[in-house]
């Protein structure tokens, strides 16, 4: 298994959108993905085709003393996923307390699940700082940091770097991706060029463009890959998949099967 924690210090950067769509693209390539929502927002299922956020998920399993993963689902695109589940304030606070008092809780839970060896696990997280994100980073082989081409992401970049490199106990390989670039905006292009110069090989070469195909697909409860397979954003996200597979291959010493 290769585990990727998707993080960002700025809210609304596209973490959940990427988690869902990268998982769908992996499934389309015949690779087994699993998307784990480690975010009390409980929205990932709706990005994977569910009409409404499910009540059941990892939080309700935890509260009901069920095994981790008991509420896992699989969508029509063959994407396995585990929603967070509906959380009232008290349950959410109790779970957060569990995470704070048990470092490595998520890593230990994941170790109990019998994933296929070649599974790529994508973990969606709340924006930083967050104990959920920290546990995801601690469980990950690679941290994918999502940046928007804006001043907020630029300013918060050190926070994302510190999360992967120092704050969560173990130093993890870090890869950044720029999401939602509007190439008609001069300042987007300028900030993207600045990030490229600063991050070099730690940045996915393909930038994910802002594309209305995402909202259209969401409105119809279908994946953007099914709705607009030839869209720019699907092309860009395939580039992100390639970058993840290249990192996985580098980590395992095997050759990369990085073609769409
Ligand atoms: N490349 C893109 N093109 C167009 N819209 C996008 C793109 N990426 C994300 N969005 C939209 O931006 C919004 C925020 O995306 P998303 O929910 O994935 O971000 P997030 O980082 O998970 O946010 P949160 O901090 O709320 O968890 C959503 O409405 C999503 O549809
Ligand atoms: Mg999200």
CATH code for the domain of 22 = 3.40.50.300
CA torsion 74→75→81→87, rounded to 10°?
Answer: -110
The residue among 236, 163, 165, 172 whose CA lies nearest residue 205 is 236
pLDDT the model gives residue 208: 98
Q: How far, in Å, are 93, 114, 135, 230 from residue 108 at the CA level? A: 20, 12, 10, 40
The pair of structure tokens assigned to 62 is: 């935890």
Planar angle of CA 135, 140, 141, nearest 5 degrees:
160
Q: How far apart are the first and last CA of the chain?
A: 20
**Residue 147 phi/psi, 5° resolution?**
-120, 140
Domain that holds residue 23: 2-252
CA of 20, nearest ligand number: 1
pLDDT the model gives residue 14: 98
CA dist 231 and 131 (Å) reads 35
| 94 occurs within a structural domain | yes
Question: Tens digits of per-residue pLDDT, 201-220?
Answer: 999 999 999 999 999 999 98
The residue among 64, 58, 32 whose CA lies nearest residue 135 is 58
| 153 occurs within a structural domain | yes
CB of 211 closer than 6 angstroms to any ligand 1 atom: yes
The residue among 146, 199, 137 whose CA lies nearest residue 172 is 137
**Which residues are near ligand 2, the ion (C-beta closer than 5 Å)?**
15-16
The number of residues in the chain equals: 260
**Residue 155 phi/psi, 5° resolution?**
-65, -35
| 133 occurs within a structural domain | yes
CA dist 125 and 176 (Å) reads 15
The whole-model pTM stands at 0.97
CB of 41 closer than 6 angstroms to any ligand 1 atom: yes
pLDDT the model gives residue 154: 93
pLDDT the model gives residue 38: 98
Mutate which of 6, 7, 12 to test ligand 1's pocket (most atoms within 8 Å of Cβ)? Answer: 12
**Residue 237 phi/psi, 5° resolution?**
-65, -30
| 260 occurs within a structural domain | no
CB of 233 closer than 6 angstroms to any ligand 1 atom: yes
Residue stretches of the chain with pLDDT short of 50? none
| 216 occurs within a structural domain | yes
pLDDT the model gives residue 183: 97
d(CA 67, ligand 1 centre) in Å = 31
pLDDT the model gives residue 260: 62
| 257 occurs within a structural domain | no
| 259 occurs within a structural domain | no
The residue among 228, 38, 106, 31 whose CA lies nearest residue 19 is 38
**Number of domains the chain is built from:** 1
For CA atoms 70, 75, 77, 82, give the dihedral sign: negative
| 156 occurs within a structural domain | yes
DSSP sequence for 211-246: -HHHHHHHHTTS-HHHH-TTSHHHHHHHHHHHHHHH
The residue among 178, 177, 180 whose CA lies nearest residue 211 is 180
Residues linked to residue 7 through DSSP beta bridges, in sequence order: 145
CB of 132 closer than 6 angstroms to any ligand 1 atom: no
């Amino acid at each position: 298994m290769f585990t990727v924690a998707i993080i960002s210090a700025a809210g609304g950067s596209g973490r959940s959108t990427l988690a869902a769509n990268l998982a769908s693209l992996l499934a389309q390539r015949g690779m087994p993905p699993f998307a784990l929502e480690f975010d009390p927002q409980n929205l990932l299922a709706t990005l994977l085709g569910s009409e409404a956020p499910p009540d059941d998920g990892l939080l309700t399993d935890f509260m009901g003393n069920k095994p981790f993963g008991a509420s896992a689902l699989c969508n029509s695109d063959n994407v396995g996923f585990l929603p967070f589940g509906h959380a009232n304030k008290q349950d959410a606070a109790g779970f957060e307390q569990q995470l704070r008092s048990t470092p490595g809780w998520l890593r230990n839970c994941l170790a109990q699940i019998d994933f296929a060896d070649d599974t790529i696990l994508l973990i969606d997280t709340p924006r930083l700082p967050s104990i959920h994100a920290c546990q995801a980073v601690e469980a990950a082989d690679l941290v994918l940091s999502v940046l928007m081409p804006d001043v907020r992401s630029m300013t918060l970049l050190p926070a994302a770097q510190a999360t992967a490199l120092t704050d969560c106990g173990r130093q993890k390989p870090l890869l950044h991706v720029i999401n939602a670039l509007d190439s008609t905006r001069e300042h987007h292009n300028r900030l993207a060029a600045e990030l490229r110069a600063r991050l070099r090989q730690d940045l996915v070469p393909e930038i994910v463009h802002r594309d209305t195909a995402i909202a259209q697909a969401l409105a119809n409860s279908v994946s953007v890959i099914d709705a607009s397979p030839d869209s720019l954003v699907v092309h860009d996200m395939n580039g992100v998949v390639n970058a993840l597979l290249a990192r996985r291959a580098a980590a395992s010493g095997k050759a990369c099967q990085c073609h769409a």
